[in-house]
Amino acid sequence: MTNIDFYFSIGSTYTYLTITRILEVEKKHGVKFNWKPFSVRAIMKEMNNIPFPKEKKNKVDYMWRDIERRAEGYGFFAKTPVPYPLSEFDLANKLAILGLKEGWGIDYVRLTYKRWFQEGKEPATEPNISEYVLNLRLIKIQWFQRQILRKLKNNMSQIQIVQEIIKYLEVHRS
């Protein structure tokens, strides 16, 4: 299986189109994407690049319509405009970094973009961040269940699995 580094930044509007399709691309082409969040805002500030200046309303309007059109062409939905720029840009990306280390990052990023572009809910702000935590707890439980099933398939003894569950619960007491 080929590994491909996938650099993205929550806050990049066109990334919605990629995030929504990337798992399907993995399956279809037998590749594995290594998700790598970074701060595109820091780079843009360094370059003095302002992506949506007020004097370029036509450009901004075109971008929103283009995202809707492309999403429709790919078979999914986008309701634009969405809140932009993000008020908690850095926090949204830091959560992605943490989540990728903890095993729930891909679900977090996909949920973040879905809620941003389908419900107009700005990433990493309240009450959305609390709602994400509730959703991610469920995702985390599902992830944990998949890990147990994988261990069962790998012929781990029930005692070993119980020991791992106890260790996991001691570490993740939330």
pLDDT tens digits along 77-91 = 999 999 998 988 888
Respond yes or no on whether the N-terminal peptide bond of residue 81 is cis (omega within 30° of 0).
yes
pLDDT at position 127 is 79
- How many whole angstroms separate alpha carbon 115 and alpha carbon 125? 12
Question: Which of 169 and 101 is assigned the larger pLDDT?
Answer: 101
Lowest mean pLDDT among 6-10, 113-117, 118-122, 152-156: 152-156
Whole-model pTM: value is 0.76
Q: What is the largest CA-CA distance in the chain?
A: 65
Q: For residues 17 and 7, give the distance between their C-alpha atoms in angstroms, rounded to a whole number.
A: 14
Q: What is the mean pLDDT of the chain?
A: 84
* Pure H helices in the chain: 15-29, 40-46, 57-74, 89-102, 105-119, 128-153, 158-171
Banded pLDDT at 2 (limits 50, 70, 90): very high
Mind listing the pLDDT tens digit for each residue in 13-47?
999 999 999 999 999 999 999 999 998 888 888 88
Question: Quick one: tokens of 20?
Answer: 């929504």
Domains of the chain and CATH, by start:
2-125 (3.40.30.10)
